[in-house]
Amino acid sequence: MLSHLLRYTLTLSVASMLVLGFSGCNKKLNLVPTSVVSQANQWKSLEDARSGVMGMYGLLRTALAEGNNYWLWGEFRKGQFQSVSRTDLKAVIDNNLKASYPLVQNATDWRRFYAAINSCNVLIENLEKCLADQRYTQAYYDLDIAQARALRAFTYFLMVRIWGDVPLITTSGEGNNFEQFSRTSEAHVLSFAKAELEDVAKDLPFIYSGEDLEFKFPTNYYDQGSGFWLNAPFTRLAAYAILAHISAWQGSYLDVATYTDFVINNASKANVYISTTDNLVGPQGLFAGGFDNYRQLVAFPFIKDRGETTIDGHIENLTLANTTAFAMSKQLPDVYVPKERITSLFSEANDQRFSINNTVSPPQYRTAYFENFNAEIPVFKKIRVIDGGQFSGGKFAVFNSSIVFTRLEEIKLLRAEALAVLGNTAQSLMILAEIRAQRGLSLIVVPNKESLLAAIYTERSRELMGEGWQWFDMIRFNKLLGFDPQLTTWTKNGGIYWPVAQDVLKRNPKITQTEFWK
């Protein structure tokens, strides 16, 4: 009897399980992934907008940092540095840019720049949805869109400097099946970038979360004070500084003069000042992010306290090594500036950055830029922010230096350059003197415009060493002075650009290799 009841119950249960299983299962299969955010769940709130904005900056930082590319492009190619024993770096230094080293191949791939551009485009197309969140006001929206457009323009400028003609893409392209575009002319891309920046510059504040006389910016940008943001998001000065550089690359020095004038006159509004030499090279100085450091006018920081310590993505990774003054376990650097070059470049006495005092025996040399000068291979230590710059030794070789695109000294030298070109020698000389004085150098006398430009060029080489300007300065000044016939030819035939990576060419047959590198 009981057995029958049991039998009956069991049959019923299994049957009901089968039926229940069918009906209830679809719901159980709706699991929300936790490692990603779906399209439907992004762009709903203030926080979503904030993450999106940080994503753009972060991706551009990645584009510059990966493989230490920023310095391969701007500093090492035919620059002052020599490779100690790495063959791949030697290939870059020798302009052997088709060499098959992974390092070189990686540096010729522009995909990461386009990731940053795409993230700007995605943000521009979607950000409106965040306005649904009451906290996300129109002021936020306008500012974030302005940043996205400025960042996109800047990215295009960086790319043009490296590759010349690059495809100009201003949509996210989502849903369009990854359409293939061909290269847009350099002039067109630059004028796009310039127009964009001119358009949005006024929509960027001098300081984020700072005093707002125009009453148009969010008061406490994403709930952080100005001391938190510093100059990490693009400010109005950043936009004009970039505009000045685009103009210089185009050769429109009149514009350069205008834009640099704006930056210099308004620098104090953004707490941007010139650094002393000590401050420039200090472990918590200009190159360290955070620390109330507003002096990085356009820069991409890696802040230790905020968990952004890395090994790759810093020139320190290549230039630093053990010195008598600073112990590190790496015995020799990957790249170094040979002694003869140091002495010929820093030939003036009392240069705080580097100079030799021969009046005492043994001769003493200043160590702001270089250590181990007496050894065969000196160490370039201008930028040395190791492990947050909080330790006196470098036993833990992880780095926090920011990638600094420009600072006030650089903008002033650019202004001096523009004024010199425009014939305003006196004012140009005055600015040059100001920078020189800051580094302990005396006044100079120049007989003509050419020697003034040469002096400015030399000063840039010294002041901006290791900051990724060497190669681009050389091109610009060679256009003005013509000191290197080979470079003049390359300027004409596209040899100044980098080849386009094989991988890029393969993925999009509409992209053609730069003529020079065919």
Partner 1 sequence: MAVNNCLKYLGNGSFLVVFVFISFFTNAQDSIVAEKPDTLPPMSRYEQRATLQAINLREDNFSSIPTRYAENKAYVSAQQIIKGLLPGTYIQEPSGEPGTDQHIFVNGIGAPLLSKKDLYNQQAVVFINGVPMQQDHPFAYELQKNEDVRMGTGTNPLAIFNIENIESVEVIKDPVRLSMLGPLASNGAIWIITKNAKPGNSNITVNLHSGLVTVPEVMPVNAAFEYNFREPFYAKFNPSGTTLMPSFLRDSTNVDYYGPANWYQSYYKSTFTYGADASLTGGSDRANFRLFLSGLKDANSADNTSLKKYNAGFFITVLPVKWLVFNSMINYTRLERARNRSIGERIMEQRYIPDITNPLTPNRSLYDKYLDEFDKSVDDNINSSLQTAFNATALLRQLTLKASFALNYDESARDAFWPTTLLEGNNFVSAYLGINQRVLFSSSASYKFLLSNDQSLTVGLNQSFTNDFQRLKYAYGYNGPNDFIKINLFAPNTTEGKFVTYYFPAKQQMAVASFFGNAGYEYRDLLRISAVVRRDGASSMQPNNRWFTGYSAGVDYNLGHQLNLDGTKLSVLASYARVGIPILDDRYSTGPVYTSYIGWPQEPTLGTYIGVPAIARPYTTGWIGYDIPWAYYNKLNLGVRLGLFNENLTLGADLYNRDNKNGMILMPVASEWGYTGEYKSGLAVNNKGIDLMLTANILGSSSPVKWTFNGNISFNQNKLKALPGGVESVEMSNTKLEIGKPVDAFWVYENAGVYSSDSEVPVNPSNGRALTFQGIQLKAGDPKWVDQNGDYNINEDDKVLKGNYMPKQFGGFGSIVQYGKLSLDFQFFFALGRYAMNQYASNRLDFVNNDYTKNLNAVKEITYWERKEDLSAYAQYNPWSDVIAYRNDQDLFVQKASFLKLRSMTLAYDLNSKNFLKKFNMFRIYLTGTNLLTFTPFKGDDPELTTYNGIYNGRALPLPRTVTFGVKLDF
Start-to-end CA span in the chain (Å): 92
Q: Out of 331, 359, 361, 448, which residue is the one contacting partner 1 (CB under 8 A)?
A: 331
What whole-number distance in Å separates Cα of residue 103 and Cα of residue 44?
A: 40
Q: Out of 78, 173, 198, 495, which residue is the one contacting partner 1 (CB under 8 A)?
A: 173
Compose the 263-302 pattern: x for residues touching partner 1 by CB under 8 A, - for all others. --------------------------x-----------x-
The 10 Å Cβ neighbour count of residue 84 is 16
Kindly state the DSSP code that residue 285 receives in the 8-state scheme. S
CB of 16 to partner 1, least distance (A): 6
Interacting residues with partner 1 between 86 and 105 (CB under 8 A) = 86-88, 91, 96, 98-101
CB of 260 to partner 1, least distance (A): 26
Closest CA to 314 of 374, 233, 363, 383: 383
| Binding of residue 135 to partner 1 (CB under 8 A) | no
The 10 Å Cβ neighbour count of residue 115 is 17
Reduced 3-state DSSP string for 404-473:
EEECHHHHHHHHHHHHHHHCCHHHHHHHHHHHHHHCCCCCCCCCCHHHHHHHHHHHHHHHCCCCCCHHHH
Q: Out of 73, 76, 114, 154, which residue is the one contacting partner 1 (CB under 8 A)?
A: 114
CB of 282 to partner 1, least distance (A): 19
Nearer to partner 1, 1 or 360 (CB): 1
Contact 98, 517 (CB under 8 A): yes
What whole-number distance in Å separates Cα of residue 426 and Cα of residue 429?
A: 5
| Binding of residue 445 to partner 1 (CB under 8 A) | no
Q: Out of 134, 178, 344, 485, which residue is the one contacting partner 1 (CB under 8 A)?
A: 178
CB of 101 to partner 1, least distance (A): 7
CB of 320 to partner 1, least distance (A): 11
Kindly state the DSSP code that residue 181 receives in the 8-state scheme. -
How far out from the chain centre does Cα 19 lie? Answer: 61
Q: Out of 214, 265, 307, 423, which residue is the one contacting partner 1 (CB under 8 A)?
A: 307
Query: Residues in contact with partner 1, total (CB under 8 A)?
Result: 111
Q: Out of 169, 274, 356, 377, which residue is the one contacting partner 1 (CB under 8 A)?
A: 169
* Alpha carbon separation from 134 to 142, 181, 212, 437 (Å, rounded): 15, 39, 21, 52
| Binding of residue 498 to partner 1 (CB under 8 A) | no
Question: What pairing do the DSSP bridges indicate for beta strands 379-380 and 370-371?
Answer: antiparallel
Only one of the segments 82-90, 367-375, 417-425, 444-452 lies at the binding site for partner 1 (rule: CB under 8 A); that segment is 82-90
What whole-number distance in Å separates Cα of residue 155 and Cα of residue 162?
A: 11
CB of 127 to partner 1, least distance (A): 13
Residue 189 CB contacts under 8 Å (≥ 6 apart), including other chains? 156, 159, 160, 165, 166, 168
Nearer to partner 1, 4 or 340 (CB): 4
| Binding of residue 76 to partner 1 (CB under 8 A) | no
Interacting residues with partner 1 between 148 and 167 (CB under 8 A) = 167
| Binding of residue 314 to partner 1 (CB under 8 A) | no
Nearer to partner 1, 144 or 473 (CB): 144
